[in-house]
Structure 1
């Protein structure tokens, strides 16, 4: 069939067959997606067995709760970010901290504190490098932003996240920090490790067929939210990681790889109430002002809550 014939046929299925009031936006999106899929089936000569195997794969990915992992692995979540960057640039917004993907592992309800928080529960202290990370949140006017919520979460030394990994304590390596009167935040944690997709999972199964690895560099996630400003969704990568610029989720970006400083001076170690050297990262966040000229930076999606 020609593409014109396919468009006409799919319109008869999706639009012309409606006998009750419909949602125009849903009609528009479904019409386009089904039309494009039918064209791909025609152009690539996709056979019936291939089609049904594809549906079986998506069902299996859903059953394993891996669609949220497959989405960044195929670049789709990065593409959504690219479009958001373009919308903000068109609205005249520039110079803020780069956004990057949220991923599927946020959990709402993390304990909240003012200015400082310790993220880890101490269960990996004998194996982990202590990390202190600190900085200032700046508003659109370039001034520090007190009372900004900085939500932070990251993986443990095995690359696992609390809540999804039931062996960890509740909200381990997850906190919400409210910036102090100077717009400052700081937390103590452990240096996270990079990790890969579950080797027996559906995401890695497809990546294998595509000749790709499923590894992520070590990273730390953030939501940064302040009144009158656009919510920032981002993450920083740990400099020196083998997969720093080879992230299967395409989340690595310039401006999100801060320097890691190793502190070994006895007075600084003592000041942190430690007895061994530690790592330190300085990182400031720069937010954009709210504007009606760009789509909302608040993404509506189902998220875990504990």
Structure 2
């Protein structure tokens, strides 16, 4: 095993210099975060005796991750987004905010600007012979069950091939296929008329799946639909549901 060097003055001085911690310029919050994360990495190298070959394999992996454009996908796949949800749930509970629809991760494939309609929106812009119809409807209420008028419900999901519009490598979908937004009326009701999505996996040759393979994990997700719900007098809700089967 290599010698332990993390606690030495040389390493601690290196960390401060790398983050410009006492440099008198730069963004103090950014410096604080870089100093901590870099320190955690240095300590992990020390504690786990990570070899130079393993370090450079990690650096090369990050290069490939960027080339694949999968950093956000990896954040979801490794539980980073879920951890943020857990922290926000705990913060809510600490100040007595409980109840309502649970928050769930946004994922990396939301696109702003979907058409906004009143009450009902048909979002299957492109025909899909392999997908049957799906109607999603409900009521937006406050925690007391009172309908919220003027709330905006945004919805997005994949097609029968597991691809989202804007991110479809086949180019088969219009920009806002299977994406839409509805503003609720006085009754708080919304409805989306769409097509049934399917489950899908990470790109099989991509960097995220490569990492999951190394962990012995699959990269598959069940069919699901994403939502944002926002209102002038309420906090924004980010959630989704999985489709049984």
Structure 1 counterpart of 2:52: 48
How far residue 21 of structure 1 moved from its aligned partner, in angstroms, is: 2.0
Structure 2 counterpart of 1:161: 164
Per-residue Cα deviation, 1:155-211 (whole angstroms, up to 9, x for no partner): 000000001112201200000111122000011111110000000101111111110
Aligned equivalents of 1:107, 1:164: Cα separation in 2: 10
Any conservation in 1 of the 2:21–2:31 contact (CA below 8 Å)? no
For the residue of structure 2 that corresponds to 1:138, the secondary structure is coil
For the residue of structure 1 that corresponds to 2:185, the secondary structure is coil
Structure 1 counterpart of 2:178: 173
Structure 2 counterpart of 1:99: 103
Q: Does 1:205 align with 2:216?
A: no
Structure 2 counterpart of 1:257: none
How far residue 4 of structure 1 moved from its aligned partner, in angstroms, is: 3.1
Q: Does 1:220 align with 2:208?
A: no
With the length of structure 1 as denominator, give the TM-score of the two structures.
0.75
Give the aligned length.
238
Any conservation in 1 of the 2:152–2:229 contact (CA below 8 Å)? yes
Bigger relative CO (Cα 8 Å, ≥ 6 apart)? 1
For the residue of structure 2 that corresponds to 1:107, the secondary structure is coil
Q: Which runs of 5+ in 2 are unaligned?
A: none
Aligned equivalents of 1:48, 1:2: Cα separation in 2: 15
- What is the Cα-based RMSD across aligned positions, in Å? 1.5
For the residue of structure 1 that corresponds to 2:7, the secondary structure is helix
**Per the alignment, do residues 117 and 78 of structure 1 end up closer, same or farther by CA in structure 2, a change over 3 Å counting?**
same
Structure 2 counterpart of 1:145: 148
Structure 1 counterpart of 2:136: 133
Any conservation in 1 of the 2:99–2:143 contact (CA below 8 Å)? no
Structure 2 counterpart of 1:114: 118
Aligned equivalents of 1:90, 1:7: Cα separation in 2: 36
Any conservation in 2 of the 1:195–1:217 contact (CA below 8 Å)? yes
Map 1:287-302 onto structure 2 (within 5 A). Answer: none
Q: Does 1:4 align with 2:27?
A: no
Any conservation in 2 of the 1:140–1:229 contact (CA below 8 Å)? no
Runs in 1 of length 4+ with deviation above 2 angstroms? 1-9, 11-17
Structure 1 counterpart of 2:38: 34
Any conservation in 2 of the 1:138–1:144 contact (CA below 8 Å)? yes
